[in-house]
Amino acid sequence: MAAFKETKFPADAPVAEKALGWVDDRFPLTKLWNDQWGKYYAPKNFNFWYIFGILATLILVLQIVTGIFLTMHYKPDANLAFGSVEYIMREVPWGWLVRYMHSTGASAFFIVIYLHMTRGLLYGSYRKPRELIWLFGFGIFLALMAEAFFGYLLPWGQMSYWGAQVIVNLFGAIPLIGPDLSLWIRGDYVVSDATLNRFFAFHVIAIPLVILGLVMAHLIALHEVGSNNPDGIEVKDTLGPDGHPLDAVPSHPYYTYHDLFGVSVFLLIFSAVIFFAPEMGGYFLEYNNFIPADSLKTPLHIAPTWYFTPFYSVLRATTADFMYVMMAVVAAYVVFIWLKSRLSSKTKAIIAVVGILMIIGMLPQVLDAKFWGVVFFGASVMIIAGLPWLDHSPVRSIRYRPDWHKYVYIVFGLSFVILGYLGTQAPSPIGGVVSQVCTLLYFSFFLLMPWWSAMGTFKPVPKRVTFQPH
């Protein structure tokens, strides 16, 4: 066994340096810092789209810290929960600020995550060799949705109660296991004290641990293969005499100050929302949630918080009449794959069988529209994970794709935003038709991506990143 060698310092060395050396001899603190940030070389052509990763980390820390302070006064009891939130808001010193930081942070988290995912979509950050980074990031997105859903019930207001009631009841549409699954999630036959307690446990302990683990995996995978950049070029392919990429710079100090500026701008906007518009017109905090939960009085319009509404609109768009449209779409898609795909005959046959079974299942005599609404609701989320294998473009970045590809992204983005808006509104005939059209556009973007992403005339990709000093 090798003898332990402790780092020696001159007698006049600063105390902080000696302390750091003492720690490094027992724990690789400096090595971790250098590997993960200090001497991690990142492409030098990052733009503002690359600020959202550090903002997501900042918000995660804010949510954990404010959540800890909230749990000191919150009571996970159906008879006391709403009153404890009011007590935090009115009696606890600065409790209103902590509560608004937490509620605004939830919406800010999703805004930042959606923008972070948009950057990945624009610059192909999910392409080889970064598939695992994307999957870890998608796992964070799923865990974040679960975390927000579990936390949605905790204020025990009208919208919390009835929103949770509606969402949990969706699982009842699953054949065979649905009713038992809904009962297991609720812990009772209706949303009750048992539901509140288990949601509190998941929101405070279980899901945050999962998120922290996935964030660590996401960062480790990122630093293993290196960061993507707006040009979609591998900077590791061009190394200098020192072994570092010529088109990359150390994250510290260059991106440390870059990120500090972005964080400052974010905190300015974040503070403005907290102090002047914490409810954000009812989108961040619904007005019905300032009314205690009443199981005997149903709100006129039940809708989840805005960050769930694009997928909720897909669920609501799936009506009995819409199923006939979906049957025709599935049939057309199977025929399209047979005619245009280069898949093997065996794979095509399997897809055809699955398509036929889906069409049969969509008949009203077999499975009702409510079941398929839940299926499409889940598929609208899960399909995002398949991006690395759906995009067949010869280039990563949108900069070097055909110009008409940008309009495809714009149509997709608009359909997603429209679905989100319609999900916050009361159902209407016109809104229903628009949401159905946007649902078809949303799924078409992904399911037709293997073909449209490879079509057109692509621009030549430079061997070195394009960079304008600023």
Who's near 163: CB < 8 A, 6+ residues apart? 152, 153, 302, 303, 304, 305
According to DSSP, the residues that pair with 248 across neighbouring strands are 43
Residue 73 counted as an annotated binding residue: no
Burial class (CB in 10 A: 0-12, 13-18, 19+), 367: middle
User: What are the backbone angles phi and psi of residue 279, rounded to the nearest 5°?
Assistant: -85, -20
Confirm if 203 and 150 have CB atoms less than 8 A apart.
yes
| C-alpha span between 138 and 209 (Å, rounded) | 16
Instruction: Give the Cα separation of 55 and 389 in Å (integer).
Output: 28
Q: Which residues contact 444 (CB under 8 A, 6 or more apart)?
A: none
Flag whether 392 is marked binding. Answer: no
- Distance of alpha carbon 48 from alpha carbon 56, whole angstroms: 14
Angle at 42 between CA 41 and CA 43, to 5 degrees: 125
255-466-389 Cα angle (round to 5): 85
* 258 carries a ligand binding annotation: no
Residues in the chain, how many?
470
- β-sheet bridge partners, residue 292: 157
DSSP for residue 255:
I
- Residues near 254 by beta carbon (within 8 Å), at least 6 away in sequence: 44
Q: CA separation (Å) from 176 to 36, 58, 172?
A: 48, 43, 9
Q: Which helix (H) or strand (E) holds 235?
A: none
Binding residues: 102, 116, 203, 218, 223
Binding residues for a ubiquinone: 223
Binding residues for heme b: 102, 116, 203, 218
